[in-house]
Amino acid sequence: MEGFSYQQIKDLQQLIAPPKEDSDSDSEDDDLRQRLSRQKLGPGDVTPSGGKPVASTRPSESVPISDIWHPSEVNPITDYQKEDPRQTPEYKMTFKQAVGTEDIFLGMNLKTPSTASCEWIMLRIQLPGENKDKIELSVESNIVDLRSPKYRLQLPTPFAVDPNSSCAKWHSDSDCLEITLKLSRELDDVNF
């Protein structure tokens, strides 16, 4: 591991705390100007002792300012949606909790409206023009995978779910699949 040279440490010391000059102008304006000039310095102002800035290791292509990472720094992730010609159906994910009168009127169970107090995730998927017999549904602990001739949805769940305690219901009048996923979190036995 390479350390800092003596000259680099001296340059950094001068950058952080420049030496005081022996002059008779110790007015407040000079002190204010000096403090403001220190605040404007940043990591890009540090250069090697030769005074030449170090060349950037990033490619020279222009990147929008709103981007955090340069495209060359991000590993490309293959997305199944780019390769699969089927449409992604509209879906709505809501959280559900069991609330009794003791929760509403007395607040005895310490439940809150947040997702931390929820026991289920309700997933409503609109599949217009689809037959329930042609739908394949797979629920794992962290992902819901729905496939049909027209649609494909692979949806990660925000929390781990119990696939064995979950259920699905087909609404033929609205061509909607309603999936109820039982959350399985670490401290659910303590919280509920």
Q: Which amino acid, 85? A: P
Residue 44 to residue 54: CA distance in whole angstroms: 10
Enumerate the H helices of 4-157 as residue ranges. 6-16, 28-39, 80-83, 101
Question: pTM for this one?
Answer: 0.53
Residues forming beta bridges with residue 136, ordered by sequence position: 147
Cβ neighbour number for residue 17 with a 10 Å cutoff: 9
Per-residue pLDDT of the chain (192 residues; tens, 9 = 90+): 477 888 888 888 888 877 666 555 556 666 666 665 655 556 666 666 555 555 555 555 555 566 677 777 766 555 555 677 888 999 999 988 877 777 667 766 667 666 677 888 999 999 998 988 999 999 998 899 999 999 999 989 888 899 998 999 999 999 999 999 998 877 655 555
